[in-house]
Amino acid sequence: MINRNMELDISQLEQSHDTNAMSRNIHKIYLIVAVVLGLFSSVVNPIFNEPDSPYHFEASANLVGLVVDISRYGSTSVTTSLTGQSQSYVDGTHFEKYYLNEAYITEAKNFPREIGGNILDYAQLGHIIPAIGIWIGYHIYPSIGVMVVFGRLLSSLVYSLLIYFIIKRLKKGKLTFTALMLSPVIVSQFSSFSYDALSYVLVAASVAVAINVVDDNKLSPKNILEMLIVSFLILVAAKLNFKTIIIIYPLIVVAIWFNKHVHKKGKYSPISSKSSTFSYDRRRKKRNHNLNLMKIGALLAAVLAFIVAAIVILQRYGGIFYVLRRLVVNLVSNVAPPMFTSLFVSPYRTNSIPIWVTVSWCVLLILCLLAEEKFVKSKLISFGALSLLILNILAVYFQYMISGYYDTGTTAANQLVGAISGVQGRYFTPLFLLLVLFSGSTYFKAKIKETRVIVALVISLAVLSNIILIVNNFWGVILAL
* Tens digit of each residue's pLDDT (9 = 90 or more) over 50-68: 778 888 888 888 899 888 8
Least confident of 130-134, 251-255, 300-304, 397-401: 300-304
User: Mean pLDDT across the stretch 322-335?
Assistant: 84
Q: Is 105 helix (H, G, I), strand (E, B) or coil?
A: strand
Residue 135 has pLDDT above 90, yes or no: yes
In angstroms, the CA 446 to CA 318 distance is 43
The average confidence (pLDDT) of the chain is 84
Between 469 and 444, the more confident residue is: 469
Residue 325 has pLDDT above 80, yes or no: yes
User: Mean pLDDT across the stretch 183-202?
Assistant: 95
Q: Is 229 helix (H, G, I), strand (E, B) or coil?
A: helix
Number of helices followed by number of strands (H, E) in the chain: 19, 0
Q: Which pLDDT band holds residue 4 (cuts at 50, 70, 90)? A: low
The CB-side HSE value for 206 (13 A sphere, CA atoms) comes to 31
Q: Please give the pLDDT value at position 246.
A: 93
- In terms of C-beta density within 10 A (0-12 exposed, 13-18 middle, 19 or more buried), how is residue 201 classed? buried
In angstroms, the CA 134 to CA 148 distance is 6
Q: Please give the pLDDT value at position 423.
A: 83
In angstroms, the CA 194 to CA 239 distance is 11
Q: Please give the pLDDT value at position 268.
A: 44
CA–CA distances in Å: residue 159 to residues 50, 146, 198, 316, 346:
17, 20, 8, 42, 18
Residue 44 has pLDDT above 60, yes or no: yes
Whether the CB-CB separation of 354 and 360 falls below 8 Å is answered with no
User: Mean pLDDT across the stretch 320-349?
Assistant: 82
pTM listed for this prediction: 0.88
Whether the CB-CB separation of 172 and 440 falls below 8 Å is answered with yes
Q: Please give the pLDDT value at position 52.
A: 80
Between 220 and 85, the more confident residue is: 220
Whether the CB-CB separation of 252 and 214 falls below 8 Å is answered with yes
Q: Please give the pLDDT value at position 104.
A: 85
Q: Is 441 left (phi over 0), alpha (psi -120 to 50) or beta?
A: beta
- In terms of C-beta density within 10 A (0-12 exposed, 13-18 middle, 19 or more buried), how is residue 99 classed? middle
Q: Please give the pLDDT value at position 265.
A: 53
The CB-side HSE value for 77 (13 A sphere, CA atoms) comes to 7
Whether the CB-CB separation of 463 and 40 falls below 8 Å is answered with no
Q: Which of the residue ranges 115-119, 311-315, 334-338, 433-437 has the most confident prediction, judged by mean pLDDT?
A: 433-437
Residue 272 has pLDDT above 60, yes or no: no
Residue 376 forms beta bridges with which residues? 441
Q: What angle do CA 321, 326, 328 make, to 5 degrees?
A: 90
- In terms of C-beta density within 10 A (0-12 exposed, 13-18 middle, 19 or more buried), how is residue 110 classed? exposed
User: Mean pLDDT across the stretch 8-21?
Assistant: 53
User: Mean pLDDT across the stretch 60-88?
Assistant: 74
pLDDT tens-digit series, residues 357-389 = 999 999 999 999 999 999 999 989 999 999 999
In angstroms, the CA 58 to CA 199 distance is 19
Burial 160-185 (b: 16+ CB within 10 A, else e): bebbbebbeebebbbbbbbbbbbbbb
